[in-house]
Amino acid sequence: MYSNKAMEKTREILKEKGVKPSIQRIKIFKCLMCDGDHPTAKDIYGRVSKEIPTLSKTTIYNTVKLFADKGILKPIRIREGEVRYDIKADLHAHFRCNKCGNLFDLNEKFLIKEKEEIDGHLIEEKCVCYSGICKDCRKEDGF
């Protein structure tokens, strides 16, 4: 359940970032916030359209683009042709499971240096992603 208080908080965050907090935007934000699993735009559409059946895919795409422009979320490209969205703005590394495809946040912050330049290259985007078999899949496999 998303309480009124949480709703109000979301409204504040959006306003702070210069985004008009419409009900659609609040729901999309909430979806990213609560699930924390780096959904794709398609995933978000699937979830939010259950609550707002009139919602169009275009609205989702426009909203995630707006959120990204305002620094509310970060698009992450782990695989070719797949963009996922991350609401956690601080630098963190990811782990992608080769079996179930889930993307996990890793709390190993030291992996990403706060440098803006390395070996003379200007850093514009930082992403560190490990891949392998996630803990859930390992359990299933009897490890």
Residues found near Zn ion in the complex (CB under 5 A): 86, 88, 97, 99-100, 105, 134, 137
For Zn ion, give the closer residue by CB, 35 or 69: 35
CA 19 – CA 25 distance, rounded (Å): 9
Smallest gap from residue 96 Cβ to Zn ion (A): 9
Whether 53 contacts 69, CB under 8 Å? no
User: Which residue type does 9 have?
Assistant: K
For Zn ion, give the closer residue by CB, 23 or 100: 100
Smallest gap from residue 19 Cβ to Zn ion (A): 21
- Token pair 């794709």 is found at 40
Whether 80 contacts 122, CB under 8 Å? no
105 burial type by CB count under 10 A (0-12 exposed, 13-18 middle, 19+ buried): middle
Smallest gap from residue 30 Cβ to Zn ion (A): 17
For Zn ion, give the closer residue by CB, 50 or 79: 79
For Zn ion, give the closer residue by CB, 100 or 123: 100
Whether 136 contacts 104, CB under 8 Å? no
Smallest gap from residue 124 Cβ to Zn ion (A): 18
Token pair belonging to 21: 């907090």
